[in-house]
Amino acid sequence: MKVTIIGPGKVGFEIARRLDEEGYDIVFIDKSEEKLEKLQERMDALAIKGNGATAAVLKDTNVIDSDLVIALTNSDEINMIACMIAKKLGIPSTIARVRDPDYAKDLLISKEGMGIDLVINPEYAASTEICRVLSMALPVFTEPFGEGMVQLAEVKVDEDNINFVNKKIFELKLPKPSLIVAISRKGEIIVPWGGDKIHAGDVLYILGYPKDIGKICSKIKRKKHRISSVMILGGGRIGFYLAEKLCSMGMKVKIIEQNAEKCEELAERLPDALILRGDGSDVELLKREGLSETDGFVAVTGLDEENLLISLLAKQMGAKRVIAKVSRPSYAPLVQQLGVDAAISPRLITASEILRFIRGGRVPSLYLLLNGNAEVVELPLQPNSRVNNKPLSKCGLPKGVLVGAILRDNRAIIPQGDEVIMEGDRLVVFALNQSLKSIEAMFNR
């Protein structure tokens, strides 16, 4: 399969890197020769210099036979035009990144007529995820799989947690049959076994039934917080989308933004939110606006460093749930060490949506761990899979792969080694990036 990416930036490279590992042919189109040269240094891909929104470039013999065109330039208009032309030239599928709130709303209704199969709005997707994290009843971050029949819980192990610290996995008194599928330690992903010891500061990824995840949360000794007021640092697109959602849910929302013109625009578009012009790093301003009594604090400025620093400050000042937006996967260890409740990466959220689409709907759920080095995916078994009718222990799973749950006949099974895989099952699989291609080939051959 060949995928052409127009305007490849950080998101485009993230997607291309993963697809390249899975054996896809990649073509980059960009006006900048310097950018294309850098991309080719990092990846074996074809590079074409030019305007990807023109028929002349899209008719190139190296592009016209593409199965998919992904338009990710900084211009919504160029992305939409590129997809329209690509579709008219016979390229089967197109994806456009569209960030403008007005365009995005219109395209939800008319994208098919414009020849766009999937509209990606990273900021809207990030705001949706932040809203979900803020409104979660459990005191840990969770991700649903199998239409909610099982949950993946992200559990930070504090130093004083005697239920976890310095205990080996087989010594943990977790509700059976819950399963620790991964450990994140100082930014590295570990596929655990029973003899591994839990360290203070580790983040455990635990798969289990929702009721059992609730029991695990009771061992964490963290209070549940009902969110009714939220302070947002940064009035960009994520801040706007998030405030709009939270206001519609009846929450009290404050936005702190330095740019006067942006403040005026937000005040017009968000009549139910309080817009404050000021420097979000000003401690006195945060105190005056009642940060210590605020249920939720969200930092979504354009600078990762500022988001992390002020999130740490907000946590120390008493904000009950703190979320930071980060773009660089390399900052994952900092998020865990600083004690921020959750970090949201628009880049990884966008990559997840696009990868799910590219895999042809075969992946109903896909979750990229924060540093992007591992995935938890929901994979349906095909009739010709060689693991059908085999016990899990005899399937020969490659290193770096764990089957965390089997979804069968509207029920979920957290498997033991002797559980038999059956045709029609859907498997919730944890896999390191380099292992995903081999596991998909094994399950779907």
The answer regarding whether domain 350-444 maps to CATH 3.30.70.1450 reads yes
Residues 61-86: what's their mean pLDDT?
93
- Domain 134-218 identical in fold to domain 350-444: yes
Q: Could you report how far apart the first and last alpha carbons of the chain are, in Å?
A: 16
Reference 204, options 157, 162, 171; nearest CA is 157
| Ramachandran angles phi, psi of 40, nearest 5° | -70, -25
Query: What region does 291 belong to: left with phi over 0, alpha with psi -120 to 50, or beta?
Result: alpha
Tell me, rounded to whole angstroms, the distance of Cα 156 from its chain centroid: 18
Compute the distance between CA of residue 261 and CA of residue 256 in angstroms, rounded to an integer: 13
Measured CA angle at 358 (ends 396, 445), to 5 deg: 30
Instruction: Tell me the pLDDT tens digit for each residue of 163-209.
Output: 788 888 888 888 877 888 888 877 677 888 778 889 887 888 888 88
Q: Which sequence spans correspond to the domains of the chain?
A: 2-120, 134-218, 228-344, 350-444
Hey, what CATH class is 2-120 in?
alpha beta
| Ramachandran angles phi, psi of 99, nearest 5° | -105, -30
Q: How many CB atoms lie within 10 A of CB 337?
A: 13
Question: What was the pLDDT predicted at 108?
Answer: 53
Interhelix angle 10-21/433-444, nearest 10 degrees: 50
Measured CA angle at 336 (ends 332, 342), to 5 deg: 85
Which residues make Cβ contacts (< 8 Å) with residue 445, sequence separation at least 6? 382, 384, 385, 386
What percent of the chain clears pLDDT 70, i.e. is strictly above it?
87
CATH architecture of 134-218: 2-Layer Sandwich (3.30)
Show the tokens assigned to 270.
Answer: 């968000």
Instruction: Tell me the pLDDT tens digit for each residue of 252-305.
Output: 999 999 999 999 999 999 999 999 999 888 888 888 888 888 889 999 998 988
Q: Which CATH superfamily is domain 228-344 in?
A: NAD(P)-binding Rossmann-like Domain (3.40.50.720)
Question: What was the pLDDT predicted at 363?
Answer: 46
Whether pTM > 0.75 for this model: the answer is: no
Strand partners, 297: 231, 322
Reference 406, options 387, 388, 422, 418; nearest CA is 422
Compute the distance between CA of residue 79 and CA of residue 94 in angstroms, rounded to an integer: 10
31 vs 366, residue with greater confidence: 31
